[in-house]
Amino acid sequence: LKVYDLNLSEEEVRKVIDYIQDYQNQDVGENYLFLTKNCSYFAAHALEVATGKRIKAKNLPWRVGNKLK
């Protein structure tokens, strides 16, 4: 199990919270795909939205590296 310390600004934390709240209000059942668009995909996407940095790899299968740049 990997644990990452995230050095997010208050604004980035607010963006992650907003993303999660918006996500909860959507009907996302059809968007969830176990092998591609799973829990880690949506968590990475929330961080991308908040930070403006690309985290997800373009090609599948993918995984987050040892360090987030």
Flag whether pLDDT at 41 surpasses 70.
yes
pTM exceeds 0.75 for this model: no
Segment 18-30 shows an average pLDDT of 79
Which of the two residues, 48 and 36, has the higher pLDDT score? 48
51-56, long-range: CB < 8 A, 24+ apart: 51/8, 51/12
For 60, left (φ over 0), alpha (ψ -120 to 50), or beta?
Answer: beta
Flag whether pLDDT at 25 surpasses 90.
no
Contacts of 64 (CB under 8 A, 6+ apart): 2, 4, 40, 44, 55
